[in-house]
Structure formats: structure tokens, C-alpha cells
Amino acid sequence: MNELQEKIIKLKKERNALILAHYYQTLPVQDIADAVGDSFALAKLAQKAKNDTLVLCGVRFMAESAKILNPEKTVYLPSGEAGCPMADMIKPEDVLALRKKYPEAAVVCYVNSSAAVKAVSDICCTSSSAEKVVRSLPNRQIIFVPDRNLGSFVSKCVPEKEVILFNGCCPIHDGISAKDAKAVRDATPEAKILVHPECRPEVLEFADFIGSTAGILDYARKTDAKELVIGTEQGVFDILSRELPEKGLRTIKNNFVCSDMKKTKLEDVLACLEGKKLPIVLPEDELSGARRSLERMVEIG
């Protein structure tokens, strides 16, 4: 631990603050967190938290979700500039237009979306809970927003449903091509390829395992395979490289980095704890609508 990290840890105790970090955060940020997880785990931890203050080291929609589940708490996003290009691809009006076109459909909203979009949806999901959430709904028609790749993956897992896709994507995961996946398969024929469902369907064809970041970490920790190809953001590769130095690890493509996730600096985290940053504030109608959608997701587990 360096001096700055020690200062943060001391201050978070004094402030009764809980620091949560996503797996895609840099390792120095993960090291000062009370818990590291994917969006689903962080949402559940935020909901159970007894602390007065939450510091969400991730991107804006994650801090918004923590605030929605804990409206009475002070929630900080250390870097105000850390957004999500996928979340920015959809507006509430897009959801309302789809609802009008498909009045019988339920709207399932991936958590990588704004509070305003969650507020006009029926239920949220994460990449680990998407299939379960879609199965749990009585509606045959499902509008899935905003990630077309995750929606397409879910529609294959639940063929009895008609899944209507919105044309959004994560530019980082969607940036992997079938050519990239084939190149890695040809170069490492013995390796297990582990891929996130935000990747394109033609990339998923090459996967030995498809799952959330938590699912990929779990698979990598348990498998006997000696070589692994990590098909999600660099942060997961960094965690596994530190934990499993004996494995042959590589990413599916060089420079597989979400720049927004890397915007959190330790100095920003300290500034939150010192009260030098503005906490997350959301309008009441977004808070209540989005809370309903998120709580339904958490109930389903």
C-alpha cells in the first residue's frame, strides 16, 4: 500500500464509507475497495450497505444504481467524467416508442443504462441475471434494451420468447471481430476461450465459456486448463494475471480497455471522502421508477 492508499483507508473508516469497485477498475483502485465485483454484485452490496456514504469506483450508471437503491445515503462517483457509451446510446423516448409499437411486451433493461431509461422499463438485468430475468416474466414478447448482443444471446437461451432488440452495444466488446477470435483460436488451439455476452454473436461462436465478468473469473479460477483467453475488458486479465501466474493467459485482442472505467484515480477517491466532490443527485421520478426496476431484478436474484 502506498501513502495515498493508506490515507484513503483511514479516512473511509472515519467517514463510515463503503468503497465498491468494479472488476474493470485499475488494480490500485481495487486494492483500496471494501468489495470488488460486477454490476450485479455491486448493486446487491449497495442495497445491503449500512454505511452513510458509498463511493462507487466505476462509471456513472453504477453510481446512479447505488443511489437509486440507497436514496438516503450519500453516493459518490469519483470521476464525474466516467460515463458509458452504451448507456448513452438510448434515451427514455426510445423505450416509450418501443412500448407503443409492442404494447404486449415487457421491457427488460440491462443495468448499463441511465436512471431515466431504467425508470421507464419494467425490470433491470445484468449480464449474469439476464436469462433468469427474461424467463421469469409472463410476457411472450420482451423488449431488450440497450445491448443488442446481450439481447441476442438471451434470445437464443430462451427461444420460447420473442425478443425485440434495441440497436445499442458496448463499443469495447462489440469491437472484437470474428477474425480476432479466429486468430486467437488458431494461435492457441488448446486454450479455453472465455467471452462476455456483450461480444458479437459471431465471436461467441468461438467461445468455450460465455458469461459475466464474475462468471469468467469463476471459470478461470476453477478450470484445470493451462491456457486461457480472456474475452472481456483488460481489468479481468489483470486480476487473473496477479492471482494465477502459472496459467498461460492472454486477452482476445490487444488493448481491450474501457477508457471510461480507467478514469477513476486514487486522488478522486480521496477527494470524495474529504467531501470535495459533489454527490450523485437524481430527480424524484427517476429515483422511484428506476428503484422499482432494480428492486425487481434484485428480488429475482
Q: Residues in the site for ligand SF4, rule: CB under 6 A?
A: 59, 84-86, 112, 170-172, 233, 258, 260-261
Q: Smallest distance, Å, CB 124 to ligand SF4?
A: 14
Q: Smallest distance, Å, CB 65 to ligand SF4?
A: 13
Which residue in 33, 38, 8, 6 sits closest to 22, CA to CA?
Answer: 38
Backbone dihedral region for residue 275 (phi beyond 0: left; psi -120 to 50: alpha; all else: beta) = left
Q: Smallest distance, Å, CB 190 to ligand SF4?
A: 28
Residue number, 189 or 255, with CB nearest to ligand SF4: 255
Cα distances (Å, whole numbers) of residue 300 to 55, 109, 171, 261: 25, 14, 29, 27
Alpha carbon 96 to its chain's center: 24
Peptide bond connecting 146 to the previous residue in cis, omega within 30 degrees of 0: yes
Q: Smallest distance, Å, CB 85 to ligand SF4?
A: 5
Rg of the Cα atoms in the chain: 19
22 DSSP β-pair partners: 37
Residue number, 260 or 286, with CB nearest to ligand SF4: 260
Q: Which three cell numbers stand for residue 230?
A: 480472456
Distance CA 210, CA 125 (A): 16
Which residue in 144, 141, 177, 146 sits closest to 162, CA to CA?
Answer: 141
Residue number, 119 or 261, with CB nearest to ligand SF4: 261
Q: Smallest distance, Å, CB 257 to ligand SF4?
A: 9
Place of cell 445491448: 147
Residue number, 171 or 283, with CB nearest to ligand SF4: 171
Residue number, 149 or 293, with CB nearest to ligand SF4: 149
17 DSSP β-pair partners: 53
Residue number, 182 or 262, with CB nearest to ligand SF4: 262
Q: Smallest distance, Å, CB 48 to ligand SF4?
A: 23
162 DSSP β-pair partners: 141
Residue number, 84 or 207, with CB nearest to ligand SF4: 84
Reported residue count of the chain is 301
Residue number, 92 or 146, with CB nearest to ligand SF4: 146
Q: Which three cell numbers stand for residue 197?
A: 455476452
Contact indicator for 145, 109 with CB cutoff of 8 Å = yes
Q: Smallest distance, Å, CB 252 to ligand SF4?
A: 14
Q: Smallest distance, Å, CB 78 to ligand SF4?
A: 15
248 DSSP β-pair partners: 227
Report the 10 Å Cβ neighbour count for 187. 10
